Amino acid sequence: MHQFPALLDRKSGTVTVHQDAVEFIPDARTEGRVLKIALSELEVRTAGENRSFFFLSRKGQPSDSISVEDPALITALSRYGYKEAVNILNHASRRWRKRKLLIGGFLATVAVLLFGLPVLISKLPGNWVSRLVSQETESHLGRILISSVQWTVENEGPSQDKLKALVRFLQDKNPELAALQIYVKLNRTSEVNAYALPGGMLFVNSGLILEAQSIEEILGILGHELGHIQERHVLKNIGGNLGLTAGGLLIGLTISPDAMNWIFRGNSIVSLKHSRDHEREADEKGFEYLKRASVSPHGTVQFLDRMQSRELSGKGGTLLSLFSSHPISEERLQAQKDRVIENSYDAKAKIPVTLEELQMAVRGLEIKP
């Protein structure tokens, strides 16, 4: 004998499954009626969104029904030989398998968005991304990223003009850069770093300029960052680094720039760490830019070698943030050195700005630690 909470005529009670019948008995506090139905006359119907309600009635009398929500009722009926119980259980099993397939499909889709899509986006060539994302949308994304970080930017002044002159110098010597619209900004902070952001935005920290020991080192860093801009690395890194939001990024990029605001608000620039492949590509691009401009590439190697030595010795402190966004390994540094040895050329460029001029202009600013 098995008992289950039930309703009859909207009166609560208990339905008992006997060996040969089901019987509804109302609660003592209600004025309901008793109803007993032989198993040979029993008809069971299911209803509800998930077929989770069972209605027990005599065959041909569906209006006089006992309603039960507990699926264990059907199992109890099958134990007492009610033949239709097997069909109901099989139908419920098929529904559950279908539901599991739907849930599995949904989870698989989420997994693709979470793991596959970011990897795919991070591996896309720049020209494919260019067709997907307009320049206007990319510039909008760059402004969102800028607004999410506390910057102390110099928009005008001698130091800003000299940085622009150095970037224009590289653009004039490299046709692929000449077509780009680059926005150069000096960021007043003692951290040694530079950032390339979507939309052609290039930020150089004043701490990096004061750390440099030659103008060729500055041009080497600028060439590297211009390589990131040319290849649109940051745009692709966003998909690789922000996981599931890459799906939202793709939707935002194809619908409206405003749709992206919620995705990136509050995310720090320094979290957009470049991959090894992107760093290698930017190194190669930067070297080519220097070569076409007849600028010595030794400055790039010397700067990175010096920074790595400081990092490994523990003397970099919190001011040396270069490696947080531009990871460098022995392999990458050696590749730079090999590139310089294997591709020698005359470095006789007339660089429009000297290191002394640039550093003097920067020292006229208030540098924040």
DSSP, residue by residue, 38-87: EGGGEEEEEESTTS-EEEEEETT-TTS-EEE--THHHHHHHHTT-THHHH
8 A C-beta contact, residue 43 and residue 59: yes
Structural domains in the chain (count): 2
| pLDDT value for 111 | 65
| pLDDT value for 41 | 92
Judge if 261 and 337 occupy the same domain: yes
Residues with Cβ within 8 Å of residue 60, at least 6 apart in sequence? 43
Q: Which of 59-63, 65-69, 111-115, 261-265 has the lowest mean pLDDT?
A: 261-265
In percent, the amount of the chain with pLDDT more than 70 equals 70
pLDDT confidence of 313, banded at 50, 70, 90?
low
Judge if 83 and 133 occupy the same domain: no
The one-letter code for the residue type at 369 is P
Quote the tokens at residue 93: 């099993």
pLDDT at residue 269 tops 50: no
Judge if 353 and 226 occupy the same domain: yes
Could you tell me if residue 21 is inside a domain? yes
Of 92, 109, 139, which residue constitutes the final position of a domain? 92
Closest to 137 measured CA to CA, from 271, 269, 251, 275:
251
pLDDT at residue 84 tops 80: yes
Judge if 42 and 145 occupy the same domain: no
Q: Between residues 250 and 18, which one has the greater pLDDT?
A: 18
Could you tell me if residue 101 is inside a domain? no
Could you tell me if residue 294 is inside a domain? yes
Taking the C-alpha atoms of residue 159 and residue 364, their distance in angstroms, rounded to an integer, is 9
Taking the C-alpha atoms of residue 183 and residue 361, their distance in angstroms, rounded to an integer, is 19
| pLDDT value for 242 | 47
Judge if 88 and 129 occupy the same domain: no
Could you tell me if residue 305 is inside a domain? yes
Angle between helices 355-363 and 215-231 (to 10 degrees): 80
User: Which range among 121-135, 139-153, 221-235 has the greatest average pLDDT?
Assistant: 221-235
Angstrom distances, CA of residue 89 to CA of 2, 34, 71, 72: 18, 27, 9, 10
Could you tell me if residue 114 is inside a domain? no
Mean pLDDT taken over the chain: 79
Angle between helices 158-173 and 276-292 (to 10 degrees): 80
Taking the C-alpha atoms of residue 67 and residue 53, their distance in angstroms, rounded to an integer, is 7
Q: Between residues 81 and 298, which one has the greater pLDDT?
A: 298
Strand partners, 22: 17, 37
pLDDT at residue 296 tops 70: yes
Judge if 68 and 149 occupy the same domain: no
The CATH number of the domain holding residue 41 is 2.30.29.30
Could you tell me if residue 208 is inside a domain? yes
| pLDDT value for 251 | 46
pLDDT confidence of 21, banded at 50, 70, 90?
very high
8 A C-beta contact, residue 68 and residue 56: yes
Closest to 364 measured CA to CA, from 101, 192, 188:
188
Judge if 244 and 338 occupy the same domain: yes
What would the mean pLDDT of 267-290 be, rounded to a whole number?
76
What would the mean pLDDT of 81-95 be, rounded to a whole number?
74
Supply the range of the domain harboring residue 216.
124-363
Quote the tokens at residue 30: 């209600």
Helix (H, G, I), strand (E, B) or coil at 153: strand
Could you tell me if residue 317 is inside a domain? yes
pLDDT at residue 255 tops 70: no
pLDDT confidence of 318, banded at 50, 70, 90?
very low
Judge if 281 and 218 occupy the same domain: yes
Judge if 78 and 144 occupy the same domain: no
What backbone phi and psi angles, to 5 degrees, belong to 60? 85, 0
Judge if 264 and 150 occupy the same domain: yes
| pLDDT value for 57 | 93
Judge if 77 and 135 occupy the same domain: no
Could you tell me if residue 274 is inside a domain? yes
Judge if 266 and 165 occupy the same domain: yes
pLDDT confidence of 239, banded at 50, 70, 90?
low
User: Which range among 7-11, 254-258, 304-308 has the greatest average pLDDT?
Assistant: 7-11
pLDDT confidence of 171, banded at 50, 70, 90?
very high
pLDDT at residue 69 tops 70: yes
pLDDT confidence of 325, banded at 50, 70, 90?
low
pLDDT confidence of 243, banded at 50, 70, 90?
very low
Q: Between residues 235 and 32, which one has the greater pLDDT?
A: 32
What would the mean pLDDT of 277-281 be, rounded to a whole number?
87
| pLDDT value for 214 | 96
